[in-house]
Structure 1
Amino acid sequence: MEEEPDPRFTLANERTFLTWLSTSLALSAAGVAMAAVPRDVFVPWVRMALSVVLAVLATLAAVLAYPRWRRVQIALRRGAPIPALALAPVFGYGVAAVALLALVLIVVAR
């Protein structure tokens, strides 16, 4: 039986959804910025690879934001446990790998 969840939980779920969209936008901007880095800063193929990884992460965040919001909302209505976010490691390790590689390249280039 589905019940209307406490509005605080619904609004928290909505904020999380919007945060995923903000994260997607930030990752998109980072991918564009990486592609615009001058050619002499990074090896071109590495710069392109970093841009592509950031763009893929941005796409995943945007595409998966609504289905995640919906699954959580359904769980709230049914009084069921909140489903785990299976892609959390992908985002965490993906962004960490991009940052680490960029840091190494910055240090080596200087």
Structure 2
Amino acid sequence: MHYFGIIINSIIKILISVISFWIEDSTPFHWIYDKLILIIGTMFPIEMFPKVLRPIIKCTPIYVVTYGPAKLLINFSFENFIQVFIAQIIYLVITIILTIILYEKGVKKLNVNGG
């Protein structure tokens, strides 16, 4: 379960890096993503957020990368396992497709001159 989280996190990092085709430096986006993962995914559990925000957070990659797998290790239930697993598969497919599409568009835009 946590392996899918690691893979999804890596693909999201690659997806953020692909943005470099259009901007010069994607480091700020990596920094923001890393801090969101740290704060929402590990330091503050979803239960600490208002009930209005909980469904929104569960729809983000933060839930499938860190919080969902960690919650399963602490308090395993088959229902949560299925929910996290399906969400991870969906995010895995979406991020791979987005990465491929953006990479292909970026390569078409790329123009390298000189050596």
- TM-score relative to the length of structure 2: 0.41
Rg larger for: 1
- TM-score relative to the length of structure 1: 0.42
